[in-house]
Structure 1
Amino acid sequence: MTLADTADTADAAPPADSAGPRRTGTGPARPPVARAFAAIVWRDLFVAGKDLWFLLAQVLMTPLFMLFIFTRVLTMQGIVGVGFADILLPGTVALATFTTSLQSVAVPLVKEFGFTREIEDRLLSPLPTALVAVGKLVVATLRGLLAAVLVYPVGALVVGTAPGRWSSVPLALLIVLLAGWVGAALGMTLATVLPLQRIQATFSLFITPIIWTGCVHYPWQRLAEMPWFQVATAINPMTYAAEGLRAALAPHVTHLPVWVCLLVLGAVATVATVAALRTFTRRAIR
């Protein structure tokens, strides 16, 4: 082989590092998206665990007082029937799930987008902005699930009955997760759309009709004699969470069909998630 042939062969040979991946820069490689997402979610859960006692007080206070007054005090006075507990307990679990998830994402976002600007630390993580928002929705939904798990047994002790069967647990968990996700998505949308100075007042205006038009205290089908109010409650996603939990925990009580509750909650969860991710991304970029 001549020198010319050797030179031609050397020119044709590929570079030594072409077969392997190239690393640009001298810094460490970025962690995988899944690992970064899990780390952010775990951090939020760890911080939430430090405020567990405050969460317990926040979650249990209103539902337990509501159950005690309606099923003990008013029942003792003959104002409310004895079987009212089977109507109210599933509705109270739905209420605790929905409001806990909503507040768990909305209240921190108000602070993080406000004076502290803590949200900027999260936006610098190796994650797309939408995944940062999804992480917050996941944590808020899990807190809503915890609220349901706490309220149901303690509420059953208050009212003296625990409607439901073990076979209904999967359906109840599915409805609770959907209700929690809907509450979290709506809370994120409110917190990222409204001006900071109006958020607190708007929360009160938003949560109050959610509670009283959400079929927490009454079955939807028994509103037939008030069609205008029945239509108003049909607009409220809380209605389908409460009715779905009645179908799972107290099927002997009048309730909407389970498939209707799952269909509406799934549709609202999809629409609310898209809206929440868009408004979060727009607010983060601004």
Structure 2
Amino acid sequence: MAKQSEQSSLQMMASLSPTTHVRSRFQLVVLAFLAMLRRDLLVTARQIVGVLIQELMQSIFFLFIFGRILPNINMTQAYFVTLFLPGIIGLTTMLSAIQAIAFPLILDFGFNREIDDRLLAPLPISLVAVEKVLFAAIRGLFAGSVMFLLAYLILGNAFQVRNDLIVAIIAFMILAALTGACLGLTIGASLQPDQMGLIFSLLIVPIIFTGCTYYPWTSLSSVRWFQIITLFNPLTYASEGLRYAMIRPDRTQTLAFLPPLSPLWDIAGLSIFLICFLLIGLSLFRRRALD
């Protein structure tokens, strides 16, 4: 009986084709990837209040001061809100994605090597990084979406968004979130915990103020050197793309404002940054993971 049972087991193993093994391995990888993503989302859901405060507080104050207070005391023109809102949506989406992966990843690669727990999962090292990118992008999209509701509550009648290009708005937000997440991967895999302060002073602040958040790209034509510098900031393409998708054509004519870059250029710019940051980030992540 024992020999028959052993022979049956060997026959069953022999009957499994290479295709079956590949399919089983693929299913295992997919399940592990989804389980890891689900865990991260559940942890975030349990801490949703703290997450929203962390990711939205800065943008809320920007929106309140520049969108409500300054126009009411005649320190800015009324149309400034129209130009500013797409920029603040792009800023919130991208920065939230950066912060959602950069800071935790720096700590994961710290002295305690908490990243090792994830590296034990039945996943290629690159997919562990991709899961973190996807999770950070989801958080960025969520933060950007919440900003629409907050903008409606804060700005009141000044909240004006065209509704015929919803797909374009979503597309630019997705690209902005993914690009921010890939940039966060690059940052998180390259810095040590004692260098975290550099992120804000040397990276976040320049991104905010050179990303066409507060001004349209065409308004910089008289400062050509700075206009060129802004093209090396992925936030510029997110802000300008969202301006194209959110501001009605009749409003752009009234404001003497034309989108400086066609939507194709905005998409191309974000896509190039996304691919570059992803490739660099994956390379750095693999190197740190194998150290």
TM-score normalised by L of structure 2:
0.87
Corresponding residue for 2:35?
39
User: Runs (4+) of structure 1 moved beyond 6 Å?
Assistant: none
Alignment partner, residue 171 of structure 1: 168
- The residue type equivalent to 2:65 in the other structure is I
Q: Rg larger in 1 or in 2?
A: 1
8 Å CA contact retained: 1:145, 1:180: yes
Q: Deviation at 1:70? A: 1.3
Distance across 1 between alignment mates of 2:47 and 2:41: 10
The percentage of counterpart residues that share the same residue type is 37
Q: Which moved more, 1:194-203 or 1:60-69?
A: 194-203
Counterpart of 2:290 in structure 1 is 285
**Alpha-carbon contact 2:92-2:143 (below 8 Å) kept:** yes
Equivalence for 1:267: 272
1:150 aligns with 2:151: no
Alignment of 1:94-113 (within 5 A): 94-113=90-109
Confirm whether residue 69 of structure 1 aligns to residue 39 of structure 2: no
Contact 2:237 2:269 in 1 (8 A): yes
Q: Where in structure 1 are there 5+ consecutive unaligned residues? A: 1-14, 24-28
| Kept in 2: contact 1:45–1:139 (CA 8 A) | yes
2:240 aligned with 1:235:
no
Structure 1 residue 22, shift from structure 2 partner: 8.6
- C-alpha displacement of 1:77: 2.1
Q: Is the 8 A contact 1:71 1:80 kept in 2?
A: no
Pairwise CA RMSD of aligned residues? 1.8
Q: Give how far 1:264 is off.
A: 0.7
- What CA distance in whole angstroms lies between the structure 1 residues aligned with 2:150 and 2:112? 37
CA distance in structure 2 between the partners assigned to 1:167 and 1:111 by the alignment: 43
Match of 1:246 among 243, 259, 268: 243
CA contact (8 A) 1:153 1:162 kept: no
What CA distance in whole angstroms lies between the structure 2 residues aligned with 1:197 and 1:133? 22
- Could you list the runs of 5+ residues in structure 2 that have no partner in the other structure? 1-9, 19-23, 253-257
CA contact (8 A) 1:88 1:218 kept: yes
- TM-score for both structures, normalised by structure 1: 0.88
CA distance 1:81–1:18, shift in 2 (3 Å): closer
* Counterpart check, 1:188 vs 2:180: no
In the alignment, what sits opposite 1:51? 47
Cα distance in 1 between the residues matched to 2:230 and 2:11: 69
State the 1:62 CA deviation: 1.2
CA contact (8 A) 2:162 2:248 kept: no
Offset, 1:239: 0.3
**Is 2:106–2:191's contact at 8 Å kept on the other side of the alignment?**
no
Greater fraction helix: 2
SS of the counterpart of 2:196?
A: helix
| Deviation, structure 1 residue 55 | 1.3
- Displacement after TM superposition at 1:197 (Å): 1.6
Q: Distance in 2 between matches of 1:182 and 1:270?
A: 8
* 1:241-277: CA deviation from partner (whole Å, max 9, x where unpaired): 0000111111433322111100110111111111111
Give the whole-Å Cα distance in 1 for the aligned partners of 2:31 and 2:119: 16
**Separation of aligned partners in 2, 1:131 and 1:243:** 31
Output the CA distance in 2 between the equivalents of 1:199 and 1:18: 52
1:210 aligns with: 207
